[in-house]
Every structure is written in C-alpha cells, then in structure tokens.
Amino acid sequence: MSIGKRVAKNVFSNWANLAVNIVISFFLAPFIVKSLGNTWYGIWVIMMQFTGYLYLLDFGVRESVIRYVSKFLASKESESLDEILSASLLFYSGIGFIALAVSTALAFGFSSIFNVDPDVVPVAKIVIVLAGLTIGQTLAFNVYTGVVMGLQRYDIFNKIGIVFAFIRLALILVFLNLGYGILALAIIQLVIGLGNNLLIYRASKILLGEHGYQLRYKHRPLREQIPVFRSLYNYSVHVVVNNLGQKAIFYTDALIIGVFMNAASVTFYAIAGNLIEYLRRLILISNTVLNPLVSELETKKDTAAIQTVLMQGGRLSMLMALPIAAIYLTMGRQFIGHWMGYEYAALSGDVLFILAVSVALSTPQNTISSILYGISRHKIIANLRIVEAIANFAISIVLVQSLGIIGVALGTAIPQIVIMTIVLPLMVLRLLKLPVGKYVLETYVRPVAATAPFAAACYAVNTYIPASSLLTLMVQFALLGPVYLAGAWFIALHTRERRQYGQVLRSYLPALS
C-alpha cells in the first residue's frame, strides 16, 4: 500500500471513530447534564480533570513504543524491538498499581482543595478511586496500544473504539435512567476501558505475528535492561514534559474555576470546552498517524518527504478546523441555546468564541508536533508547552477574579496564539529549512480563502434566517456544507491532491466510480 493511501486509510478510520464518539457525546451531553444537574455535572468534570493528571504516569513510554516499533520493523532490527517491548512491559506492570495508589490519596484530599458541598464528598471519593483504577488499567495496556499504532493499523484500533462507544452509550442511557447517577458513570467508564484494552491486546499479538514476531515478556537481569530503559528515557522524557504542559493548558480550566468560583460555574465553561475538545480531538487524531510515518521517513533519510508532510498536513488540518471554527464563531450562541438550553447560550457562547479563535489559529501545531515526534526533536515543543502552560496558569488566575470564566478562556487563548501560532512554526521552519512565505501560503492562505465563502454564508444565515430549533440548525449546516466543500476542493487542494483523494474516496464509496 502506498504512503498516501496508508495515511488516508488511517485518517479516515480516525475520523469515523471520532465522528461516532462526537455524535454520541453530543446527544448524551444534555441528557447527562439534566440527569445529574449543574452541580453534580460540574463535580464530574472537576474529578475527570483532577484524575486525568494520572495519565502523566505513562512517562511518554507509549510514544516511545510507537516510535521504535515503526523504526525497528522498518530497519528489520527484531532483537532491538524485542528489548524495547520487554522493557516497556516491565515498566507498565508497576505503573498501573501506582496510579491506583495515587488516586486513593487524591480522593482523601479532594474536599480540602475544591469548593464543594460536604454531602457530595463520600461519593466523590469513590468516583476518584474508580477513575484511578480505569486509568491504571489503561496504562498497563499502553504497550499494546503503542504496538498497534506503531504498525500504522489505526483502522483496527478505531473499529474496536467504535464498538465500545455504542456499548457505553447503551449502558449510560440505561443506568442514568434508573437513577444511579455519577457513580454509574465511573463504573461504566471502567468496564468499557477494560473491554476495549483486552481487544487491543489481542490485536497487537496477531499483528506482530503477521510480521513474524511474537509479543511476550522475556526476563533479563536489571543491569541488562538499563541501556534499554535509557533509550526509552531519552525519547520519552520530552514526551512527559509535553504531556505535562498539555495537561496544564487544556485540563486545568475547570480546576481553576472550581477553586476560585464554584462547581456550577464549571458546567457553563465545560459546555463550550466540550465543543472545543471535539474540534481539538479531530485535528489531533488526524495528525497522530504522521508520527510513525515520519519516523519511517526519517529512518530512510527522506527529508523532502518530511517537508511535504509538514505543509500538506498543516493545510489539511486547517481545512478540517476552519469550517467548524466558522460555525462556532458565527452561530455558536444559537447552537448552544438549541443544544443545551438558552440559559447557557450567552456565557458559554462567549467562551466558545474566544477558544475557537485560538484553536483555529494554532491548528497547524498539531502537524508540527507529530513531525517533531517522528524525527525525535520533540524537545522543542515540550519546552514551549511548559512556557505556554505557565503563562496560561498565571493569566487565568489573574483574570478569573475580575472576568470569571471569560478570564479563564482568555488565559488559555492568549498564550496559545502567541506561542503555538508564531513561535513554534518559526523554530521548526528554520529546522527543516522551509521558507516562511511558502509555509504561510500553503498552510494558512489557501485554507482561509477556501473557507471564507462558507463563513460568510453562515453569518448571513444566522443573521437573516435564524434557526428555530436544533433540527433546523442541522439542516442549515447540511445545506451550507457544499459551499465549503467546493471551496476546499477547488481552492485549497492542488490538482494532484484532488486526483489522489478522489481515488481514495472512490475506494470507500464504490458508487462514485
């Protein structure tokens, strides 16, 4: 399979998985908020962000596994691959237990950190422990996830994810209707995570078997493992720093609001934050497939291909982000009003506007990040993430006291625009020896020009033909879709790309042939 078709297959499968999860989450969100209420839903968001930091216990080893699986299979170094996987299995065997222990400690400190009613504390403690158990088992299975991704079989990973997304949907609808509340959500999350990971484990063994490799732990004396752990550390240390920065940037907003305001205010921020998270995940999963690909190209010393990946990946990421951002900017308040209720429209809509601007402008950093991971130069983005996180934290704390949740949104947006839209691209363009003008033309100018007619149409429709219901709004989106698709196809894509993507689409939709 050619590189282009392989990337397209992985990206399309990522999109399918994300689309299913977004649609499910979209329709579940009002149901969960109404079932739990503003306070309990705010507490759920706080606890998920609170325990989410346990994922840092991965220490970037999964990314190391992805990198070395693709690298050593490309160079046919089976012995080196065996050493990496055995060391990773040893590492993860203890991390899961550590995650559970840490979550238990966090549970006992929860009530002393956040401004919550004492009546909710006993249940909150149980939920935090269950969340820690979920994260612990996910970390324990991470080596197998890394194998599947390193083999560039995201399609298998996504098929499993789609199946369990529907199972999760059914369980939530049943148990929340029965009145089991937040505790049921935590148990469902644990069960779904475990089932998903068991299938990933089986898939990884089958895939490696197809390459003539048997995945199993081979015991070695610790002194023989030290050089392998050093190799993992040299790559993963900057992954950890980057992950820490990302957590501080994207998953502390609710914590700051919970400390300086109250749990109910978190719900207003989380509504907009969830919509931004859908957009961010779309761009992120579209670029994760580039990490093992660029690693393979770097092993083959194909610098020209890496430069092409940077520009095409950035442009395609913008083409995915801009139409959604245009809807958020022009129709965000109306959308939230029909979706969640008009009591959320104004405040959550303002937060959505601010965050949408920053995410849209910084979208190409996702492609840049994947390329830096692939060529083992991710120290660059790791260091910038920490700077961004510190600025985010400081500005948010200052502004939340005078502007409330709007201040927290600005605290997130300002550093992201400055660092990820300006500083990071300039550093990487110098590294890869690409002209700034060419990069800006391909990555920004063409996608913006392609999206402009769609954005203008959204604004006109929202101004002169406002939707009377969520269904009407969805119909408007569907009718405006061809305006965007035409601009993207004829303005943003080159002739060769239109031909290539047309072939991929025909392979998925035989009727187009």
pLDDT confidence band for 53 (50 / 70 / 90): low
The answer to whether 419 and 387 have CB atoms below 8 angstroms apart is yes
Q: 255-259, 284-288, 402-406: lowest mean pLDDT where?
A: 284-288
pLDDT for the residue numbered 447: 94
- Residues 257 and 253: their CA atoms lie apart, in Å, by 6
With a pLDDT cut of 70, the percent of the chain lying above it is 84
What the block records as the tokens of 460 is 């006109």
For 178-192, write each residue's pLDDT tens digit: 888 888 888 898 899
The answer to the question of residue 247 being in a domain is: no
Q: Which long-range contacts does 305-311 make (Cβ < 8 Å, 24+ apart)?
A: 305/3, 306/371, 306/374, 306/375, 306/432, 307/432, 307/433, 307/434, 309/367, 309/371, 310/367, 310/368, 310/371, 310/428, 310/432, 310/434, 310/439, 311/434, 311/438, 311/439, 311/442, 311/443
**Spatial contact of 149 and 292, defined as CB atoms under 8 Å apart:** yes
Q: Identify the weakest region by mean pLDDT among 116-125, 238-247, 280-289.
A: 238-247
According to the model, what pLDDT value does residue 504 have? 66
Instruction: Label residue 152 left, alpha or beta by phi (over 0 means left) and psi (-120 to 50 means alpha).
Output: left
Residue 6 neighbours by CB distance under 10 Å: 17
Q: Are 330 and 349 in contact (CB under 8 A)?
A: no
Question: How confident is the model over 153-167, as pLDDT tens digits?
Answer: 878 888 888 999 899
What is the band of 415 on the pLDDT scale with cuts at 50, 70, 90? Answer: very high
Q: Which amino acid is at 379?
A: K
pLDDT in tens, 119-136: 777 887 888 888 888 888
Question: What digits encode the pLDDT tens for the residues 59-68?
Answer: 667 777 777 7
pLDDT tens digits, 433-460:
889 999 999 999 999 999 999 999 999 9
- What's the rounded mean pLDDT across residues 489-513? 73
Residue 2 has pLDDT above 60, yes or no: no
Of 111-125, 147-161, 331-345, 488-502, least confident by mean pLDDT is 111-125
Determine the number of helices (DSSP H) and then strands (DSSP E) in the chain.
21, 0
> Does some domain include residue 121?
no
pLDDT at 335 exceeding the cut of 80 = yes
Residue-wise pLDDT for 419-436, tens only, equals 999 999 999 999 888 899
Q: Are 4 and 149 in contact (CB under 8 A)?
A: no
**pLDDT confidence band for 280 (50 / 70 / 90):** confident
Which of 17 and 361 is assigned the larger pLDDT?
361
Q: How many domains does the chain have?
A: 1
Is residue 480 pLDDT above 70, yes or no? yes
138 or 73: which leads in pLDDT: 138
Domain of residue 414 covers: 252-513
Distance CA 369, CA 380 (A): 9
Burial class (CB in 10 A: 0-12, 13-18, 19+), 400: buried
Regarding pTM above 0.85, the answer is no
pLDDT surpassing 60 at residue 512 = no
Question: What's the one-letter identity of residue 213?
Answer: Y
Residue range 104-130: mean pLDDT, rounded = 76
The angle subtended at Cα 346 by Cα 448 and Cα 332, nearest 5°, is: 25
Cα separation, 406 vs 347, in Å, equals 8
Comparing 392 with 48, the larger pLDDT belongs to 392
Is the pLDDT at 327 greater than 90? The verdict is: yes
* Mean pLDDT computed over 58-83: 70
**Residue 375, φ and ψ in degrees, nearest 5:** -105, 15
CA dist., res. 373 & res. 178, Å (int): 46
What is the CB neighbour count within 10 angstroms for residue 149?
A: 26
Lowest-pLDDT range of 65-69, 196-200, 231-235, 468-472:
231-235
**What pLDDT was estimated at residue 290?**
79
Q: Write the CB contacts of 342 (distance below 8 Å, at least 6 apart in sequence).
A: none
Residue 220 binned pLDDT confidence (cut-offs 50, 70, 90): low
Query: What is the pLDDT of the chain when averaged over all its residues?
Result: 82
pLDDT at 177 > cutoff 90: no
* Backbone torsions φ then ψ of 261, nearest 5 degrees: -125, -110
